[in-house]
Amino acid sequence: MTLITPTARMHASVHGGRAKCLQRLIRLDMPVPTTVALSFDAVREIAKGILPDCKTLMAPFGDQPLLSVRPSSQDPDWGGPSAILNIGMNDARHAQMVGEMGEWAATVLYLRFVQAYAVHVARLDPDEFHMPQEADAQSLRAMLKAYELETDEPFPQDPGRQLVETLRSMARAWDGTTARLLREAKGAPKDAGLGLVVQAMALGVGAGECGSGVIQYVSSTTGQPQVTGRYMSQSQGREALSNKARAIYLTEDDRGPALAELLPDVFENLLAYGDVCRRRLREEMQVEFAIDWDGLHILDAVRIQRSSRAAVRIAVSLAQDGIIPREEAVLRIQPSALSELLHRQVDPEASRDLIVRGIAASPGAAAGKIVLTAAEAQASAARDEPCVLVRRETTPEDIRGMHAAQAVLTMRGGVTSHAAVIGRGIGVPCVVGASDLTIDRKKRQIIAPDGRKFSVGDVITVDGTTGQILAGEPAMQEAALDTSFQTLLEWADDVRDIGVRANADTPADAQTARNFAAEGIGLCRTEHMFFEGDRLGVMREMIFAEEGADRRAVLDRLLPMQRADFQALFEIMQGQSVCVRLFDPPLHEFLPSDKQGLRDLAEQMALPLPEVTERVDALSEYNPMLGMRGVRLGIAIPEIYDMQARAIFEATAAVRRKGIEITVEIMIPLVSAMREVELVRARVDAVANAVMAQTRMRFAYKLGVMVETPRAALRAQDIAEHSEFLSFGTNDLTQMTYGLSRDDAGRFMSSYVQQGVYPEDPFHTLDIEGVGELIALGAARGRAGRSDVILAVCGEHAGSRAAIAFCREHKFDYVSCSPFRVPVARLTAAQLAL
Ligand code: PEP
Ligand code: MG
Domain CATH number, residue 142: 3.30.1490.20
Task: Express each pLDDT in 746-796 by its tens digit.
Answer: 788 888 999 999 998 999 899 999 999 999 999 999 999 999 999 999 998
Question: What pLDDT is recorded for position 388?
Answer: 97
Q: Is residue 265 part of a domain?
A: yes
Q: What is the pTM of this model?
A: 0.83
What ligand has the least distance to the C-alpha of 416? 1
Atom of ligand 1 nearest to the CA of 794: 5
Ligand minimally distant from the alpha carbon of residue 728: 1
Q: From the alpha carbon of 523, which atom of ligand 1 is closest?
A: 5
Instruction: Indicate whether 790 and 653 sit together in one domain.
Output: yes
Helices 595-605 and 609-619: angle between axes, nearest 10 degrees: 110
Rounded to the nearest 10 degrees, the angle between the axes of helix 159-175 and helix 177-185 is: 60
Question: Is 228 found in the same domain as 182?
Answer: no
For residues 105 and 638, give the distance between their C-alpha atoms in angstroms, rounded to a whole number: 92
732 is in an annotated binding site: yes
pLDDT at 255: 62
Q: What is the pLDDT of residues 177-223, one digit of tens each?
A: 888 888 888 888 988 999 999 999 988 777 788 888 999 999 887 89
pLDDT of residue 342: 85
**Confidence check: pLDDT of 110 > 90:** yes
Q: Are residues 93 and 240 in the same domain?
A: no
* pLDDT tops 70 at residue 731: yes
Start-to-end C-alpha separation, the chain: 39
Mean pLDDT along residues 538-553: 87
Q: How many CB atoms lie within 10 A of CB 253?
A: 16
Residues whose beta carbons lie less than 5 angstroms from ion ligand 2: 708, 729, 732
Structurally, the chain folds into a number of domains equal to: 4
Whether 335 is in the pocket of ligand 1, judged by its Cβ within 6 Å, is no
Q: Is 527 in the pocket of ligand 1 (CB under 6 A)?
A: no
Is the domain of 259 the same as that of 380?
A: no
Across residues 451-467, what is the average pLDDT? 95
Do residues 175 and 252 share a domain? no
- 591 is a domain residue: no
pLDDT at residue number 247: 66
Q: Are residues 194 and 216 in the same domain?
A: no
CATH number of the domain encompassing residue 449: 3.50.30.10
Q: Residues 6 or more apart from 169 whose CB is under 8 A from it?
A: 81, 120, 121, 123
> Residue 27 annotated as binding?
no
Contact (CB, 8 A) for 494 and 329: no
The span from the CA of 276 to the CA of 279, in Å, is: 5
Distance CA 264, CA 254 (A): 18
Answer yes or no: do 632 and 510 share one domain: yes
pLDDT band at 244 (very low <50, low <70, confident <90, very high): low
**Residue 224 and residue 162 share a domain:** no
Give every CB contact of residue 516 below 8 A, 6+ residues apart in sequence. 502, 819, 820, 822, 823, 826
Residue 438 lies in a domain: yes
Q: Is 535 annotated as a binding residue?
A: no
Q: Long-range contacts for 752-761 (Cβ within 8 Å, ≥24 apart)?
A: 761/414, 761/415
Same domain (yes/no): 373, 353:
yes
- Quick: pLDDT tens for 794-828: 998 999 999 999 999 999 999 999 998 999 999 99
Residue 142 Cα distances to 135, 146, 152, 229, angstroms: 11, 6, 15, 35
The torsion region of residue 579 among left (phi > 0), alpha (psi -120 to 50) and beta comes to beta
Rounded to the nearest angstrom, the distance between the alpha carbon of 352 and the centre of ligand 1 is 35
Ligand 1 neighbour 708 (Cβ under 6 A): yes
Q: Which 3 state secondary structure label does DSSP give 35?
A: strand
Do 406 and 536 lie in a common domain?
A: no
Domain boundary among 303, 320, 352: 303
Residue 285: domain span: 211-303
Band (pLDDT 50/70/90 cuts) for residue 532 is: confident
Which of 467, 437, 454, 263 shows the shortest CA–CA distance to 361? 467
Radius of gyration, alpha carbons of the chain: 34
Task: Provide the pLDDT for residue 340.
Answer: 75
List, as one string, the DSSP characters of 571-597. Answer: HHTTTSEEEEEPP-S-GGGGS--SHHH
Task: Write down the mean pLDDT value for the chain.
Answer: 91
Ligand 1 binding pocket includes 505 (Cβ within 6 Å) = no
Examine the domain organization and report whether 228 and 281 are in the same domain: yes
Q: Is 326 contained in some domain?
A: no
Q: In this structure, are residues 796 and 421 in contact, taking their beta carbons and an 8 Å threshold?
A: yes
Mutate to test the pocket of ligand 1, among 415, 521, 631, 732 (most ligand atoms within 8 A of CB): 732
Q: Whose CA is nearest to atom 3 of ligand 1?
A: 729
Ligand index nearest the alpha carbon of residue 503:
1
Work out the number of other CB atoms within 10 angstroms of the CB of residue 761. Answer: 19
Q: Which of 272, 303, 334 is the last residue of a domain?
A: 303
State the CATH number of the domain containing residue 573: 3.20.20.60
The whole-number average pLDDT for the span 443-472 is: 95
Q: Given CA atoms 796, 799, 801, 803 in this order, what sign does their dihedral have?
A: positive
Question: Which domain CATH number covers 235?
Answer: 3.30.470.20
Examine the domain organization and report whether 756 and 673 are in the same domain: yes
Ligand 1 contact via 795 beta carbon (within 6 Å): yes
Q: Which residues are catalytic?
A: 418, 794
The answer to the question of residue 312 being in a domain is: no
* 355-362 average pLDDT score: 92
Alpha helices in 383-451 (DSSP H): 399-404, 418-426
Tell whether ligand 1 has an atom less than 6 A from the beta carbon of residue 162. Answer: no
Q: Which of residues 427 and 139 earns the better pLDDT score?
A: 139
Q: Is residue 489 part of a domain?
A: no
pLDDT in tens, 600-657: 889 988 889 999 999 888 888 888 889 999 999 999 999 999 999 999 999 999 999 9
- Residue 576 counted as domain residue: yes
**Domain assignment of residue 639, yes or no:** yes
Listed residues 173, 200, 227: the one ending a domain:
200
